[in-house]
A and B are shown apart, each in its own frame.
Chain A
Amino acid sequence: MARLKIDRELCIGCGACVDACLYGALALVDGLAVVNDLCVACSACLDVCPVVALSLPAAQDASLSADTASGVWVWIETQHGGAAEVSWEMLGKGRELADARRVELVACVLGSRCQDLALSAGRRGADRVLLVDDPALAAFQTDVYARVLLTLVTAQRPEIMLFGATTRGRDLAGSLAADLRTGLTADCTELSIDPENGCLVQTRPAYGGNIMATIVTPTRRPQMATVRPRVFEPAPVQGDRVPTIERVAMPPVGELATEVLAFVPSRSDENLGQARVIVAGGKGVGSAEGFTLLAELAALLGGAVGASRAAVDAGWVSYAHQVGQTGRTVRPELYIACGISGAIQHRAGMSTSRVIVAINSDSTAPIFDIAHFGVVGDLFQIVPALSAALRQQLGDQQ
C-alpha cells in the first residue's frame, strides 16, 4: 500500500499526476488515477492535481516539541589551519535566520589552540561562541567531534544547526543527525524561515542540479542542514565587536574506534573548493602535457586546475582535479573550460560559477549553452595567447 491517498470522488482522470510522477507510480485505470507500490511519497504529484484529489497524510510524530529549542548554531570548520570560508558564509546566512527567528546566533568552535578562530567567529557576528579547546580535537575525527557536539546540542537544544557541505561537514552532520533522530538536508543553496510556522525552509539541488527540492523538518529539532560552499555571502568582520566566548570543558568521549595516521595537505592547484579561479581541461586538451598550458594560465590567475571526467579517465590528471558529478562541485568566480564539451555530469559540478568562459573548437558544444563568454577556436593557440596577454597586463601594472 502506498501512502498517497487518492480521493476517487474528486479525481477527474486528467492524468497530470501520472506525468508528474518521476517513479512511474501513478497510472490511469478506468479514467481514475491509481497508485502502485513504486510510490515513495515525494509529493511531486500534489502540486499538479487541479482538483486537489491527492494527499499525503502527515506523520503523527510530536515526541520532541519544537517549542523548547532555540538558537541558530553554526559549526566552524577548520581547513589549512584556518576557518573554511563556508563557515563565515554560514555565519552570514545564520545571522539572517537568527534575526528572523529573534534568537541568538551561536558559533561552535572545536579544535586545539583555536582561540583565534573563536575570536574571529565572534567578530563575524556570532552572539556567543562555544569553544571546546582540547589536544584531543587537534585532528578532525568524526567520532570525537560528533560526540562533543552531541553533548553540547543535548544540553542547550538549538533549533537550527548548519554545517558546510564539505567532506568533514557532511560526515559530521550525517553522524550527528542519526544520533539525534532529526532531519538533515544536504547541500542547501537557499535557506529561509517560514513566516507562518517558524520552520527552516531548505532548498537544495537534486539529480545533479536538474531539479530543486524544498525540504522542511516540521517537528524534530534541531533542524539540520549542510550548506554548499560559495553560495552565501560571508559575514563581514566587525572589528569593534567584543566576542562573547564560552569555554566548554572537553566532555569524556570514551574509547575511539578510529585513529588518524597521517595527513598530507593538497597542492594549491588541487584545491578546487577554495579556488577563486579554475582553469579546467577536457578531452580536447589531449594529453598530460596539454595540461601544463592550463596550469600555467591557472598559476597566472592564482587559481586551480580542474578537469572533466574524460581527462581524468585518460590519466592526464589525477582524480583530485575532477569537476562534476563524480568529482567535486565547484563555484568559483571564474571558470575557464578548455576543450570541455560540457556533458550534463560536468555541468552539474560547475554551472553555478559566477562567470564561465568556454574555449572549444566545436561551436555546437553544450558547454556554450551555459557559458558567459565563448571562444570557438584551438585551445592550444588561445590558452597560450591568453597567458601571454595576461603576463603583459600584469607586467604593465608593476
Chain B
Amino acid sequence: MRIVVMCKSVPDTMDVRFDPQTKTMVRAGVATTINPFDLFAIEAALRLREQHGGTVTAMTMGPSAAQRELQDAIAMGCDDAVLLSSPAYAGSDTWATAYALACAVRYMGEVDLIVCGRQAQDGDTGQVGPGIARQLGWPQVTYVSRVCELDLMARRIVVERLLEDGRQTLAAQLPAVMTVLKDANLPRTATLRGMRRAHRAVVPTWGPEITGADPRLVGLDGSPTRVVRVFSPTARQGQVQWITAATPQKVAEGLLAALTAEQLV
C-alpha cells in the first residue's frame, strides 16, 4: 500500500492582520509550520500503514524552505518526502496547485491513496483535494471523520463523512483521494528516532521538468484566478453593551429584554 499525504507549509500564526493605515500586512515573523489540518491527514496515513503495511510519502509544493515541514512529517513517521519547488510554480492558484501535485503523483506511479487535510489554514479553500482527484480521474472522499474499512484485496475504502445534515457512509474504489477532518484522529508527536531520521533524510526537489507537468499550466500562467486586492475586513462598529444587575435573575431579565428588542426572541 503506497500512500501520499499532502501537507502545506503555512505561516505559523492565524493572527495575520492588515494595517489599514499603512496598507501593509502586520506579521509576527515569517516562521512556518505544517498546516494544522494536515497533521490529521498524516496521522490517518500512518495508521493505515500500520494496519496494512506499505509506505507513506509526504509531499508539498512550496519554496525550498518548505523542506523543513517535510522533515517534520518524516519525524512524525512518514517514510520519505518529495518537495515540488520551482520558479515555474510561483503564483499557482488551487487549480494549478492541484494539477502540479497530480502530475507528481502520476510521476511516482502506483499510488493507492492520497490523504489531504480538510483545507489549509491560510487559504481556507478545501479545493485542492477534490482538484487532485479530478486531475487523476480518481474518486474523492472528503470531510472524512472516520475510516471504517480498507480492503486492499477488493481495492476499496469505506469512510464516514460528516456533512451539514448528517453522517454519510461512502465506499470508494482505490486509488482514491481522501480529505480528513480533525475528528478523524489525534495526531502523534515526533519521536526522537523520527527526528534523527528526518535530519538524515534527503528530500528530492521536483520541478515540472521532472514530473512532466506542462509548464504553461502551473504557476501564475496556469492559474485561472487572479488576486486583485488584499485588504483588512471592516471591524464591527460599536462596543459591547454590558448588562449588569444585582442578581443573576435581574441580569437574565435585562438580557432577555435586549434580545426581545432585537426581535431575536
CB neighbours (8 Å) of B259 from chain A are: 334, 355, 357, 373
Partner of B90, one of A2, A273, A319: A2
Q: How many chain B residues touch the partner (CB < 8 A)?
A: 100
Binary flags per residue of A183-210, CB closer than 8 Å to B gives 1, else 0: 1111100000000000001000111111
A20 within 8 A of B: yes
Task: Check: A170 CB closer than 8 A to any chain B CB.
Answer: yes
Of B14, B138, B172, which is in contact with the most chain A CB atoms at under 10 Å from its CB? B14
Which A residues are in CB contact (< 8 Å) with B143?
167, 171
Whether the Cβ atoms of A211 and B95 lie closer than 8 Å is no
Judging by beta carbons under 8 Å apart, are A385 and B249 in contact? yes
CB pair B164 A3 closer than 8 Å: no
Q: Are B253 and A389 in contact (CB under 8 A)?
A: yes
* Alpha-carbon separation in the docked complex, A377 to B255 (Å): 13
**What does the 1/0 interface line of B10-24 toward A look like (CB < 8 Å)?**
010011111000111
How would residues 232 to 265 of chain B score, 1 for a CB under 8 Å from any chain A CB and 0 otherwise? 1100101011111000110111011011101011
**Assuming A48-B23, A257-B176, is B233 touching A61 (CB within 8 A)?**
no
Report the bound CA distance from A210 to B158 in whole Å. Answer: 37
**B187 touches A (CB below 8 Å):** no
CA–CA, A220 and B93, complex, Å:
14
B181 surroundings in chain A (CB, below 8 A): 319
Cα A328 to Cα B229 in complex, Å, equals 26
Q: Is B134 an interface residue (CB 8 A)?
A: yes
Category for how many chain A residues contact B: 35 or more
CB distance from A4 to the nearest CB of B (A): 9
Contact status A42-B221, CB under 8 Å:
no
Find chain A residues with CB under 8 A from B166 CB.
263-266
B27 within 8 Å of A by Cβ?
yes
The answer to whether B122 and A206 touch across the interface, beta carbons within 8 angstroms, is yes
- Among the stretches B44-52, B104-112, B123-131, the one at the interface with A is B123-131
Contacts of B127 in A (CB 8 A): 170, 173-174, 177, 184, 186
- Complex Cα gap A310–B167 (Å): 23
> Which of chain B's residues have a CB closer than 8 A to the CB of A377?
248, 251
Is A263's CB under 8 angstroms from B169's CB?
yes
